[in-house]
Amino acid sequence: MGCSTKIGGDAGSQADVEAGTSACEVDTRDEPYVSGMEKTGGSVIVQFTSANPAPPAKGSNVWTLKVLRGADRSPLSGAKVVVTPFMPDHGHGASGTPVIDDKGDGSYEVRDIYLSMPGYWRTTVSVTPSGESTPSEVQFHLCLDG
């Protein structure tokens, strides 16, 4: 059984997107992609510095993230970074597992992000600094047009 396009925060309040209306035009949970957008979570700041394609789109994507220490905004290299895209309205994640390369100076290239369909995606970025055991998390909320 395939996914249908839905909007809304929970099953009881979801509404079908009307013909001719993009899900992203009516969904209020997303945030527009802007190069350099950032989120703070726990002890880190994560900047979404670039996307290819930009904005992120259905299909294969490559992203660059910059991870900074929250206390002084210094670059944080050598961390364990995990990127988990998820479609809460459909109850599934992305196809495959993103590959993450530490490029130094706090920059991480995230490849093989395959977003299989348009709609609202909640992407969690989990960062565990070297020598620590507790990750810090941020979320980016993106809506992909079809």
Burial of 138 per CB tally in 10 Å (0-12, 13-18, 19+): buried
Predicted confidence (pLDDT) per residue in 47-99, tens digit: 999 999 999 999 999 999 999 999 999 999 999 999 999 999 999 999 899 99
Number of domains in the chain: 1
Predicted confidence (pLDDT) per residue in 9-46, tens digit: 443 334 444 555 577 888 899 999 999 999 999 999 99
pTM listed for this prediction: 0.85
Predicted confidence (pLDDT) per residue in 85-142, tens digit: 999 999 999 989 999 999 999 999 999 999 999 999 999 999 999 999 999 999 999 9
Please check whether residue 11 lies inside any domain of the structure. no
Give the CATH number, domain containing residue 38. 2.60.40.10
Please give the residue range of the domain that contains residue 73: 32-144
Write the DSSP string, 78-117.
S-EEEEEEEETTTTEE-BS--EEEEEETTEEEEEEEEE-S
What pLDDT shows up at residue 20?
Answer: 53
